[in-house]
């Protein structure tokens, strides 16, 4: 049923765009000190990789930044110093009510950070009354007043592709400052992580995250057991990290010998990363938290049916094992061990 709904929404968008007037204009728009709405829906990882763009816009143009986020990702922007207000998009209210609410806020500029075409986002932007609408040069280009080139997805990290918006607005004059992911963790969450690790003070802590939101990115119970056995170094403490939905898998791996850390709260869950010496994880949003904190990452990545650059840690040292197959399950333990042990020793011996 959901697939049918998506199909018809895409058809309706194509019809809408076909009959729409082209709003593209020439020249670089001036956004300094303007009231600006950034749209960033979708998942946690999508929100995290947008934070460098937000900070670069604030530092270069000092606009009043408002952000339209999703119920699934709005908390990522909590306490972001560059944002005036985070507005949560509620699908139950419908597009019309959302458009009316946003138009009352009288924005000067709308920036669409999505590099794919979203029916919802396209219709939102089309009916918002801001005089400047900035988006990437893609299939729904007619709804924007100004178009930003999309950098080669096979070459450039997703963060660099998003930062191209700032480059464009600066008219490509000068080199753009290096911006990392920003994510704020409360003192309460940090105290929770401290309490959990209280008995492991002065240990070399290796976090092993087994959760990634899909079975295709679960490496397997026996593989994780062998990985933990390979971490047989003085002073090394492995900690299993998981989502609550994967607690049974975590317990099977631990066998009551390895500590397990999990939480329903994303903030409390990610607080543990601030205490790690190394994070081992499949490709998931906490890769970007590690990047924000510059924690070294050993990643297990699926790059199936695409040549796009993987979402590797933007600012952390990292090593990866990558498969072109649809699942991590066919990555052998020996393939992981060959790369992991030198990576562990690189930091453990410091």
Distance CA 82, CA 78 (A): 11
Nearest alpha carbon to residue 50 among 170, 186, 187, 166: 166
Q: Which domains does the chain have, with CATH numbers?
A: 2-169 (3.40.50.2000), 187-348 (3.40.50.2000)
pLDDT digits (tens, 9 = 90+) for 180-234: 999 999 999 999 999 999 999 889 999 999 999 888 999 999 999 999 999 988 8
**Rounded Cα gap, residues 289 and 284, in angstroms:** 10
The answer to whether 309 and 153 have CB atoms below 8 angstroms apart is yes
pLDDT higher than 70, residue 8: no
* Tens digit of each residue's pLDDT (9 = 90 or more) over 258-271: 999 999 999 999 99
Of the listed ranges 86-100, 239-253, 290-304, the least confidently predicted one is 86-100
SS3 at position 323: strand
State residue 204's pLDDT score.
96
Which pLDDT tens digit goes with each residue over 122-155? 999 999 999 999 999 999 999 999 999 999 999 9
Report the pLDDT value the prediction gives residue 9, as an integer from 0 to 100: 67
Contact by Cβ (8 Å): 228, 261: no
Alpha-carbon distance of 148 to 161, in angstroms, equals: 10
pLDDT of residue 182: 95
The tokens for 277 are 């010496």
83 pLDDT band (50/70/90 cuts)?
A: very high
What pLDDT does 7 receive? 64
Query: For the whole model, what pTM was predicted?
Result: 0.93
């Amino acid at each position: 049923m959901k697939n049918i709904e998506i199909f018809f929404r895409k058809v309706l968008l194509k019809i809408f765009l076909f009959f729409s007037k082209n709003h593209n204009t020439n020249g670089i728009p001036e956004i300094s000190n303007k009231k600006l709405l950034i749209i960033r829906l979708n998942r946690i990882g999508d929100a995290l990789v947008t934070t460098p763009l937000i900070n670069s816009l604030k530092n270069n143009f000092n606009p009043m930044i408002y952000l339209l986020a999703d119920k699934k990702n709005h908390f990522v922007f909590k306490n972001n110093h560059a944002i005036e207000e985070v507005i949560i998009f509620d699908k139950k209210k419908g597009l019309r009510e959302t458009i009316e609410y946003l138009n009352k806020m009288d924005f000067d500029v709308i920036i669409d950070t999505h590099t794919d075409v979203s029916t919802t986002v396209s219709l939102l932007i089309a009916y918002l009354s801001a005089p400047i609408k900035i988006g990437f040069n893609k299939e729904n280009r007619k709804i924007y007043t100004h178009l930003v080139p999309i950098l080669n997805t096979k070459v450039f990290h997703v963060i660099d592709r998003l930062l191209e918006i700032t480059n464009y607005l600066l008219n490509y004059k000068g080199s753009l400052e290096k911006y990392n992911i920003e994510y704020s963790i409360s003192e309460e969450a940090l105290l929770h992580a401290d309490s959990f690790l209280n008995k492991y003070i002065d240990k070399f802590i290796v976090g092993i995250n087994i959760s990634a939101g899909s079975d295709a990115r679960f490496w397997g119970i026996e593989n994780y057991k062998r990985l933990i056995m390979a971490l047989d170094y003085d002073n090394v403490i492995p900690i299993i990290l998981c989502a609550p939905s994967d607690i049974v898998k975590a317990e099977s791996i631990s066998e009551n010998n390895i500590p397990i850390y999990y939480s329903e709260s994303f903030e409390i869950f990610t607080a543990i990363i601030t205490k790690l010496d190394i994070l081992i994880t499949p490709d998931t949003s906490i890769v970007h938290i590690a990047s924000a904190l510059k924690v070294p990452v050993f990643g297990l990545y699926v790059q199936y049916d695409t040549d796009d650059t993987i979402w590797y840690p933007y600012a952390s040292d990292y090593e990866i094992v990558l498969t072109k197959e649809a699942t991590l399950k066919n990555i052998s333990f020996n393939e992981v061990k060959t790369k992991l042990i030198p990576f562990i020793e690189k930091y453990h011996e410091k």
